[in-house]
Structure 1
């Protein structure tokens, strides 16, 4: 007996949930909602997810159409159903299953992180997911690479996942594999500058960490263009949350201890924007 389109879609949705290792509890919620969800109500907004200029408004419209969604599971379901379609695009282009899986695992990572910090499963990153769904961002080895345009110039924006292996060889392989990937699948970005805007590039960290630190080695691969001393994203990424007063921030790692000390003294970490050097391995 032939499966209906919806049954077939849900079967594929389960495969996506499995391959990205979505926690069982959240997977059950996603599959249950998908079984009763009428996608046609939100079809007009799906196409907008392919247009970066429309992402923000589209996600707002989708959230409104989904209704009450305290744990973000409805948004996650809608986005993962789109990921099934994205997988078809990967297949058409011949992009590997490994890159698809590694790229889409970002949502499982944040669902698990929310549980670790708050004790409940939730997905709060629906606003970021269009990047992956529209085949603009890919995880290649340790790092994520997003194709962007600024002032009519094509750039590749580097993002650093929380679980990235920041060792020298791991980063080298990621950068080199990314160059090969874009030259093959998106040749218009084959020679684009790779840039990064992150707290990890903050020069303040160079005063806190030893030369042998992976973070410092990562920094040295970039030519710094500008700094932003007001950026406080380090708190989110180092401590996993931003809702605690400074004196209650955890001190599980040496970096957490050092940053907390700096914050208590009135300091800030900030961030910086840099361009990856042509030969980032000369150091």
Structure 2
């Protein structure tokens, strides 16, 4: 059964205020204006150029509502593709909920709704990235090798059993629907793999449990990319960063001392999160 734009907004629990704006703009939106660039959103190498061109065609869009509308209309088309391939509706919903999550996060941090992740959404609507359980899995090609890049949503349950269940289900998913990636190595590039975190967190930490499933290949000790994910924003001076959690307090103390948390790139082990 096909879905409408309104259906998809409801399925992904897009905040009501943004849903109203999306549905209102959709009534006046002429898809022909962006059609040439929408057609090129299926290939990673053209994502950046396509989004830049769509942004130009849409004009002023202070809260990202116009871009969100365009992307969600593409999500409606993606739903049809999911149906044709026999893919789970739950995976569709969990995957597309990414935009509702970031819209809600913007409200929590800034006090107003906005969507600023149009540049990322092509991954989901082109069926390159899927949320399967706790984690997101993106099919990529790096130096000629097919890989699956793991992303960790902010609301991910990081318990060992849940992570392993996600991994096993993802393996079955890719074997069935994308056999070329069925046995592809899984990798992750994130602050959550930073070795320095071992100095801040107890052995029982779920973050360290996540780390233990990866063999680290390289480390960037100078990066403070964690700020965006730990505090939800990057526009505040360090003394003004929140201290609502123990992790925020510890990282803030390090930043004030002039220390960087870093990030790392690693390869997932063959049987991760096993007991």
TM-score, length-scaled by structure 2: 0.98
Structure-2 separation of matches of 1:171 and 1:282: 10
Structure-2 separation of matches of 1:195 and 1:94: 27
* Aligned mate of 2:15, from 2, 23, 26: 23
* Aligned mate of 1:42, from 29, 34, 39: 34
Tell me if structure 1 keeps the 8 A contact 2:218–2:265: yes
Question: How big is the shift at 1:229?
Answer: 1.6
* Aligned mate of 1:141, from 133, 145, 150: 133
Partner residue of 1:207?
199
Deviations 1:74-123 (A, max 9, x none): 00000000101111110111001000000000000000000000000000
Q: Which structure 1 residue ranges, 5 or more long, are not aligned?
A: 1-8
Counterparts in 2 of 1:46-195, with a 5 A limit? 46-195=38-187
Structure-2 separation of matches of 1:145 and 1:221: 16
Partner residue of 1:281?
273
Structure-2 separation of matches of 1:272 and 1:218: 13
Structure-2 separation of matches of 1:69 and 1:41: 15
Structure-2 separation of matches of 1:279 and 1:72: 41
Tell me if structure 1 keeps the 8 A contact 2:163–2:273: no
Residue 84 of structure 2 aligns to a residue whose secondary structure is helix
Question: How big is the shift at 1:282?
Answer: 4.6
2:272 counterpart of 1:260: no
Structure-2 separation of matches of 1:28 and 1:228: 43
* Aligned mate of 2:231, from 239, 264, 269: 239
Tell me if structure 1 keeps the 8 A contact 2:161–2:273: no
Residue 261 of structure 1 aligns to a residue whose secondary structure is helix
Corresponding residue pairs, total: 274
Residue 103 of structure 1 aligns to a residue whose secondary structure is helix
TM-score, length-scaled by structure 1: 0.95
2:219 counterpart of 1:223: no
Deviations 1:125-152 (A, max 9, x none): 0000000011000000000000000011
